[in-house]
Structure 1
Amino acid sequence: MHAWPASEVPALPGKGRDLRIHDTSTDGLVTLDPGPVARIYVCGITPYDATHLGHAATYNAFDLVQRVWLDTKRQVHYVQNVTDIDDPLLERAQRDDEDWVALAERETSLFREDMTALRMLPPEHYIGAVEAIPGIVPLVERLRDAGAAYELDGDIYFSVEADPHFGEVSRYDADVMRALSAERGGDPERPGKKNPLDPMLWMAARDGEPSWDGASLGRGRPGWHIECVAIALDHLGMGFDVQGGGSDLAFPHHEMGASHAQVLTGEYPFAKAYVHAGMVALDGEKMSKSKGNLVFVSSLRRDGVDPAAIRLALLSRHYRANWEWTDQVLRDAQDRLARWRAAVSRPDGPSADELVEEIREALADDLDAPAALEAVDRWAARQQAQGGTDEGAPGLVSRAVDALLGVAL
């Protein structure tokens, strides 16, 4: 599966700072110190609907992580999946009387278009669950053969008790985990499971549903969590720098994935930091496909909204915050974009060297994009009020805003 084209990231003078970011597993800030190549895995979409602003906010956060690392002169090895086979996809295809493969391909293509328009840097490896199945099957077999998985009516479940570190990613208690499991695709009430929280690794073939050869597992399809584990281990290995996604993935997805990988390899941890973006709401409720309260990036683009304004709207809220999308949020972003473009269109201006360092400092401090925007606002206000004599300043501001914030002026 191919990703989307990369926009050029301008080079800036000097060097950025190491990133200090909130780690869910410790509930505190950690300073990331990758080697020459920083490794990040971000969970991708289930392509049964278009990219909504909740998606965009999440991928915007991890795009900033990449940009901070690139500014430290590191390379970035970024991997993202596409869950192109799962119950929600099949249910939507059945509802709309559409082939599930065609649905997945169409929505994945639209996602690529949205990411390109928003100037999100693409992953080096963009892997679909279906294409990962040949690598998933042996992992499930290994877990089963090691006694860390068991069969129930043909389905294969992972035993969470096989991992002594289970629960350390989300830090939830058993009652909360059980409730979230039921809410987020698990089946804690299924009779016969050794532990209600045990997640499915391999679902035996169901009538009328697609299935694949699972060797000794029989025909079926993979569970959600093992998909990402197989892809991450294949392309990043254990102990990569950041596992990222929305805050609703901390449990069960990232918790279960970490346990799968740790039992498979005997190593700990799966990722050095678990980083989660907040939820975007509309009309008082979390924006989600199940609720149908969505604002789509593609719809905004069709209405003529500049993607740079959409990105500025996302940047105006801290990535970990839960916040609500409103028309006013977008209007404020459009006004800000107009001010910035007017400021950099002049032939000279106030020195921007200090501004570049302010943006770097803000982003290195747990991706504080709102503080970075305010720093650019101050420079633009000085430009409007008094101008300046530095002929290179407007160009430097444009390059810095592009390189570090992903906004093209």
Structure 2
Amino acid sequence: MSLRLYDTAARAVRDFTPLRAGQASMYVCGLTVQGPPHVGHVRAALVFDVLRSWLEHGSGLDVTLVRNVTDIDDKILTKAAEHGVEWWAWAYENELACTRAYDVLGVRPPTYEPRATGHVPDMVGLIERLIERGHAYAVDGDVYFDVRSLPEYGALTRQRLADLEPAGDTDTDDRKRDPRDFALWKAHKPGEPETAAWPTPWGRGRPGWHLECSAMAGRYLGPDFDVHGGGLDLRFPHHENEQAQSRAAGDGFARYWMHNGWVTLGGEKMSKSLGNTALVDEVVQRVRPVELRYYLVAPHYRSTIEFTDAALAEAGAAYRRIESFVQRAAEQVGGDVGTSLPEAFRAAMDDDLSTPAAVAVVHDTVRQGNTALADGDDDATRAALGAVRGMLGVLGLDPLDPRWAASGGDDRLAGVTDGLVRLALEQRQAARARKDYAAADALRDQLTALGLQVEDTPQGPRWELTR
């Protein structure tokens, strides 16, 4: 294998070698379903969807991908109470919204998508191992991880224990051995729903956030796995604490750590608490989902994306240039041409998943294909189309993929729109046939004003959206 990845823990680009021959295992932190997802939330899913695809297509690996759902959490309980609904109903409603966002952006379902509430026995077992090894202790129904018991605590983010603030997931009190000890298990409190508590040897309660992911990763991937991914904001304390508790329990845990950059709005990280979000459900009403995917996939995964309408429009225009070539070439030589991956594309993807360089290869090949189309060179057109479709297939952006066949939104509305446009084009063709060119030009101008570009081809007129 020639794939090199930037390992956050090692602070260096490392040659990726899977733990098991022919297989790769990945755990990606999914969303805490406290509300519907915004564009920043889904970036991690897109990044690791592309990595998964490249491991399969570029390296021929069989990939097991686990992406969890955190469906029990302080914020979920608070939000549900504010809206006067059961916490589990609130969590499930927003889980469905997350699934809808993943689906509309073409993110493939993970191999396993465990919910935290379904894995409490695994979490209790992990706590018991930590207590037995002297890394955790129980106090009045709460269980804490003893950070001073693990000399390597802070290794992932390269922080010294003496420099860290008290853990923010529990109230600081004198029951802790150290204010920086974090909660593995939280005792049930008066006023909290009885349904949000599970029986354990330490009393009824619910799991701490960090514990959940360690237990689910171990359940589905075993004590050692290849890649752990998530957003940059999860590095500390979440991923630091995951690594600490898993290694303290005797597991090797993740061999590579990868973190994607933020999506910002107005220069700040997109965040519900700051009120600067762009919900996926709302954005895909303004732009096609495939164009939003292109916008989020084209930059390097470690870069920050500043979300603006202008940048989104520019990305949409760039994607439509690719799409136009694919559609015109497919009409000329047929869409079933086989696929290939240029060496320059392979080199870009192997270089820490460099999608900007990979997308540049796509556009270069499109330019070559357009020249071949203009010259009537079917062999060169066929070769360019196969390469472009191969590269777009890796990125999840192939315009001929059935999931992108409609322009987004309600399928019935898309069908009606297509039918009305075709009716207008038939009227235009009829006007041209009777040599009423003024009427034909007027119909074309009206379609252009509506944001449609009409092109006359030997196979008849074709149209595409320009905005």
TM-score, normalisation: structure 2: 0.78
Residue 270 of structure 1 corresponds to 253
Which of 45, 55, 72 aligns to 1:69? It is 55
Is 1:167 the counterpart of 2:157? The answer is no
Take 2:395 and 2:68, find their aligned partners in 1: how far apart are those partners? 24
Deviation at 1:398? 4.7
Residue 182 of structure 2 corresponds to 199
Residue 321 of structure 1 corresponds to 303
Which of 76, 79, 88 aligns to 2:66? It is 79
Is 1:233 the counterpart of 2:218? The answer is yes
Contact 1:348/1:393 (<8 A) preserved? no
Shift in alpha-carbon separation, 1:382–1:323, aligned structure 2, 3 A: same
SS of the residue 2:55 aligns to = helix
Take 1:83 and 1:135, find their aligned partners in 2: how far apart are those partners? 15
Contact 1:348/1:394 (<8 A) preserved? no
- Aligned partner letter, 1:242: V
Shift in alpha-carbon separation, 1:393–1:176, aligned structure 2, 3 A: farther
Take 2:393 and 2:148, find their aligned partners in 1: how far apart are those partners? 45
Take 1:301 and 1:198, find their aligned partners in 2: how far apart are those partners? 42
Take 1:344 and 1:162, find their aligned partners in 2: how far apart are those partners? 59
SS of the residue 1:82 aligns to = coil
Residue 362 of structure 1 corresponds to 348
Shift in alpha-carbon separation, 1:251–1:289, aligned structure 2, 3 A: same
SS of the residue 1:216 aligns to = coil
- Return the structure number with greater relative CO, CA threshold 8 A, min gap 6: 1
Contact 2:372/2:381 (<8 A) preserved? no
Contact 1:313/1:333 (<8 A) preserved? yes
**CA offsets 1:157-194 (integer angstroms, 9 cap, x no match):** 01122323221111123466427x44xxx347433322
Which of 360, 363, 367 aligns to 1:381? It is 367
**CA offsets 1:16-52 (integer angstroms, 9 cap, x no match):** x542111111110111111211000000101111121
Residue 83 of structure 2 corresponds to 96
Note the aligned Cα RMSD (angstroms).
2.2
Decide which moves more: 321-330 or 397-406: 397-406
Contact 2:340/2:387 (<8 A) preserved? no
Residue 318 of structure 2 corresponds to 336
Shift in alpha-carbon separation, 1:332–1:177, aligned structure 2, 3 A: farther
Is 1:251 the counterpart of 2:236? The answer is yes
Take 2:228 and 2:281, find their aligned partners in 1: how far apart are those partners? 27
SS of the residue 1:29 aligns to = strand
- Aligned partner letter, 1:229: S
Take 2:90 and 2:129, find their aligned partners in 1: how far apart are those partners? 33
| Structure 1 segments unaligned to the other structure (5+ residues) | 1-16
Residue 26 of structure 1 corresponds to 10
- Aligned partner letter, 1:361: A
Matches within 5 A, 1:286-301: 286-301=269-284
Displacement over 4 Å in runs of 4+ = 351-355
Residue 10 of structure 1 corresponds to none
Residue 103 of structure 2 corresponds to 116
Decide which moves more: 210-219 or 288-297: 210-219
SS of the residue 1:407 aligns to = coil
Contact 1:229/1:257 (<8 A) preserved? yes
Deviation at 1:73? 1.2
Deviation at 1:324? 0.9
Residue 407 of structure 1 corresponds to 397
Contact 2:153/2:161 (<8 A) preserved? no
**CA offsets 1:223-267 (integer angstroms, 9 cap, x no match):** 0111111111111012211010001111111111111111112x4
Corresponding pairs, count: 385
SS of the residue 2:189 aligns to = coil
Q: Percent identity?
A: 35
Is 1:372 the counterpart of 2:338? The answer is no
Take 2:255 and 2:229, find their aligned partners in 1: how far apart are those partners? 11
Take 2:162 and 2:31, find their aligned partners in 1: how far apart are those partners? 28
Shift in alpha-carbon separation, 1:176–1:394, aligned structure 2, 3 A: farther
Contact 1:282/1:293 (<8 A) preserved? yes
Take 1:353 and 1:408, find their aligned partners in 2: how far apart are those partners? 11
SS of the residue 1:374 aligns to = helix
Take 2:54 and 2:268, find their aligned partners in 1: how far apart are those partners? 32
**CA offsets 1:96-146 (integer angstroms, 9 cap, x no match):** 222211111111111111111211122111011100112111221222233
Take 1:218 and 1:352, find their aligned partners in 2: how far apart are those partners? 60
Take 1:302 and 1:282, find their aligned partners in 2: how far apart are those partners? 19
Take 1:357 and 1:177, find their aligned partners in 2: how far apart are those partners? 46
Residue 8 of structure 1 corresponds to none
Shift in alpha-carbon separation, 1:332–1:158, aligned structure 2, 3 A: same
**CA offsets 1:340-396 (integer angstroms, 9 cap, x no match):** 0111122359x9988632222211111111111111111222333453432533541
Take 1:398 and 1:380, find their aligned partners in 2: how far apart are those partners? 7
Contact 1:355/1:379 (<8 A) preserved? no
TM-score, normalisation: structure 1: 0.88
Which of 122, 127, 132 aligns to 2:114? It is 127
Take 1:343 and 1:117, find their aligned partners in 2: how far apart are those partners? 23
Residue 246 of structure 2 corresponds to 261
Residue 419 of structure 2 corresponds to none
SS of the residue 2:342 aligns to = helix
Is 1:310 the counterpart of 2:292? The answer is yes
Shift in alpha-carbon separation, 1:162–1:150, aligned structure 2, 3 A: same
